[in-house]
Amino acid sequence: MTVQSSPVSSRTDSGTRALRTLRLGVNIDHVATLRNARGGWHPDTLRAAHLAIEGGADGITAHLREDRRHISDQDITRLKNEITRPLNLEMAATDEMLEIALRHVPNACCLVPERREERTTEGGLDVVGSLKLLKPYVAKLKDAGIRVSLFIEPDLKTIEASAQAGADIVELHTGRYCHLALDHDAMGMAREVERHAKAAQAAYLAGLEVHAGHGLTYNTVAPIAKLPEVVELNIGHFLIGEAIFGGLSQAVRRMRVLMDEACLADTRARSAVTTS
């Protein structure tokens, strides 16, 4: 194992600390959730991806689920062909998903556990228990030039197993930390941040790139963003929800203008008829 120094101690030639950068992957699954509520194309995932990139996203993340409840195969094709930033494809370790990933060759694949009855990805991969199953998937994806990430709980044994599986990256599941925030459990949150800090350090020392995500919001992002080994956050549901609040009054205003213009045109047309 090559032991790397912690990125927090990296310094420039002049002795000052190098500015750390943290990538943001925007998960657009729930744009597709909204679209699928009606069918058709609106709201369009590709348009959402372009807007996310315009807003500063370094990459786009999309989870192609076995039941296709949000992202579709066509979404993946369009995103892969048309976005200007890396695509991170989240998927279960199954033969069907492997075939899709090898066909599209996204920048990265994040292997996640998947159960049909769950509302979202609950908990991380059991890498220790499924090491034998995961290894060939990781190897085939890597052979195709795809970076492989494993979505895991911040647990030291799981990190060790992730390195053994040959993964390039681990994404630490921040769901439990974010649930504690919803419960206003400050002590529990501090404990979870500490667990993530230790896990991030261990993963970095094991030669793994460290990402994190799930459930992050404006209120919970900073303690995770501060962890020096973490180089990427993947955030979705909260951002798509916030986009409603950022954009709803503007959308209503535009509809109001179109309606008022139509009424005015109608009134003018009627008065033209009566005066002629």
Mapped onto helix, strand or coil, the DSSP state of residue 148 is strand
Under the binding rule (CB under 6 A), the answer on residue 70 touching ligand PXP is no
Residue 116 tokens, joined: 């049909």
How far apart, in whole angstroms, are the C-alpha atoms of residue 182 and residue 176?
10
Q: Which region, judged by CB under 6 A, interacts with ligand PXP, from 48-56, 72-80, 96-104, 235-243? A: 235-243
How far apart, in whole angstroms, are the C-alpha atoms of residue 124 and residue 154?
9
Under the binding rule (CB under 6 A), the answer on residue 237 touching ligand PXP is yes
Under the binding rule (CB under 6 A), the answer on residue 213 touching ligand PXP is yes
Under the binding rule (CB under 6 A), the answer on residue 234 touching ligand PXP is yes
Residue 145 tokens, joined: 């030039």
Mapped onto helix, strand or coil, the DSSP state of residue 256 is helix
Mapped onto helix, strand or coil, the DSSP state of residue 214 is coil
Under the binding rule (CB under 6 A), the answer on residue 203 touching ligand PXP is no
Mapped onto helix, strand or coil, the DSSP state of residue 152 is strand
Q: Which residue's Cβ lies closest to ligand PXP?
A: 236
Considering beta carbons, is residue 101 or 112 the nearer one to ligand PXP? Answer: 112
From 26, 76, 87, 90, residue interacting with ligand PXP (rule: CB under 6 A): 90
From 75, 171, 192, 229, residue interacting with ligand PXP (rule: CB under 6 A): 171
Catalytically active residues are 63, 90, 214
Under the binding rule (CB under 6 A), the answer on residue 177 touching ligand PXP is no
Q: How many residues bind ligand PXP (CB under 6 A)?
A: 19
Under the binding rule (CB under 6 A), the answer on residue 113 touching ligand PXP is no
Name beta bridge partners: 111.
Answer: 91, 150
From 100, 203, 214, 227, residue interacting with ligand PXP (rule: CB under 6 A): 214
How far apart, in whole angstroms, are the C-alpha atoms of residue 199 and residue 189?
15
- Residue span 115-144 as binding mask against ligand PXP, x where in contact by CB under 6 A, dash where not: -----xx-----------------------
- At how many degrees (to 10) do helices 45-54 and 29-36 cross? 150
How far apart, in whole angstroms, are the C-alpha atoms of residue 89 and residue 20?
25
Q: Which region, judged by CB under 6 A, interacts with ligand PXP, from 31-39, 198-206, 208-216, 264-272? A: 208-216
Q: What is the longest distance spanned by two Cα atoms in the chain?
A: 90
Please tell me what DSSP assigns to residue 5.
Answer: P
Q: Which region, judged by CB under 6 A, interacts with ligand PXP, from 32-40, 161-169, 212-220, 224-232? A: 212-220
How far apart, in whole angstroms, are the C-alpha atoms of residue 263 and residue 265?
5
Residues that bind ligand PXP (CB under 6 A): 27, 29, 63, 90, 110, 112, 120-121, 151, 171, 213-216, 234-238
